[in-house]
Amino acid sequence: MKLNVVPARTGSAWVRQGIRTFWRQPLALSGLFLLFMALASLSSMLSYGGTFLGLMFVPAASLGLMAAAREADLGRFPMPSMLIIGFKQSAAQTKQMVLLGFLYGLLFCFVLVLSSFFDNGEFARMYMAGGSLSEEHVLNEHFQTAALFALLMYLPLSSLFWHAPALMHWHAQPLAKSIFFSFMACWANWRAFAVFGLTWLSIFLATSVLLSLLSMVFEDGQLSLTLMLPAMLMLATMFFTSSYYSFRDCFISEPVLA
């Protein structure tokens, strides 16, 4: 395995490849993403501990969605079991994946703790307890600052775990090396990831604007709300599908495991 540095324009190629792959298996890939969201919602019902369990599952789920994208890319149908592929290879990998998830959850909670200094923990409590975003929260300057701080802190945190599950599964890398190489790959290819992120942000914003315009044209205020959920579901699935191509291009060598 060798780190590969790609041009900035590759970031937009990842987006295009992810969208194309999604339309090869739209129902299967959307279903897997829905299953992940359902599991996260069920775990959140257990209050704070359940939310932490949901956070622990994020790295394994991201691997599952990458594996599903790889199956679709190879012309195969991604089965629902893809979502837990990180726990199926061996007992040693299962232990590593659980530790990776625990570390991700711990660092995510640390970010929320730091954000509490801006709004006395209101944003952290809302996130961990699964509360809804109210107008009072949106208009609260301290809450906005805490949310923005958490978002900015999440960017370096996500770079540690972006490739780590896939490196553990497909390249048999240990926990520490997976996290290290994941960070180094994101740092070395920050231009491509910047293009990748900005492209997806533009797509999400353009979709929201388009749906709002449709509501105005048909004079139906509920139309955009009705279409927004399935549209965002498909875009989110495409986003995770495209993450597979970012992993594939950032490392040179064929995966050692199927």
CA distance 163 to 244: 9
Return the SS3 of 21: helix
Q: Where are the domains of the chain?
A: 7-252
Q: Find, among 71, 64, 76, the residue nearest to 37 by Cα.
A: 64
Q: For residue 160, which phi and psi values (nearest 5 degrees)?
A: -70, -30
| Whether pLDDT at 7 is above 50 | yes
CA atoms within 13 A on the CB side of 216: 6
Q: Identify the burial level of 72 via C-beta atoms within 10 angstroms of its C-beta, where 0-12 means exposed, 13-18 middle and 19 or more buried.
A: buried
Give the whole-angstrom CA distance, residue 244 versus residue 241: 6
Q: Are 180 and 251 in contact (CB under 8 A)?
A: no
DSSP string, 63-75: HHHHHHHHHHHTT
pTM of the model: 0.88
Q: Is the pLDDT reported for residue 16 higher than 90?
A: yes
Q: Could you tell me which residues come within 8 angstroms of residue 94 by beta carbon, excluding any fewer than 6 positions away?
A: 86, 87
pLDDT at 94: 92
| Average pLDDT of the residues in 54-70 | 94
* Separation of alpha carbons 123 and 144, rounded Å: 9
**Which residues lie closer than 8 Å to 215 by C-beta, 6 or more apart?**
221, 222, 223, 224
Q: Residue 51: its pLDDT value, please? A: 83
Assign residue 257 a region (left: φ > 0; alpha: ψ between -120 and 50; beta: otherwise): beta
Residue pair 3/185 in contact (Cβ under 8 Å)? The answer is: yes
Tell me the one-letter amino acid at 73: D
pLDDT band, very low/low/confident/very high, at 256 (cuts 50, 70, 90): very low
Structure tokens at 171: 């390249």
pLDDT per residue as tens digits for the range 83-134: 999 998 888 899 999 999 999 999 999 999 999 999 888 888 888 776 666 6
Q: Tokens for 10?
A: 């590759």
Average pLDDT over all residues of the chain = 88
**Digit-coded pLDDT (tens) for 153-169:** 999 999 999 999 999 99
Task: Please choose, from the candidates 19, 4, 22, 12, the residue with its C-alpha nearest in 3D space to the C-alpha of residue 196.
Answer: 12
Please, are residues 15 and 243 in contact by the beta-carbon 8 Å criterion? no
What integer pLDDT is reported at residue 128 of this predicted model?
78
pLDDT at position 130 is: 65
Higher per-residue confidence, 221 vs 245:
245
pLDDT at 232 over 50: yes
Percent over 70 (pLDDT), the chain: 91
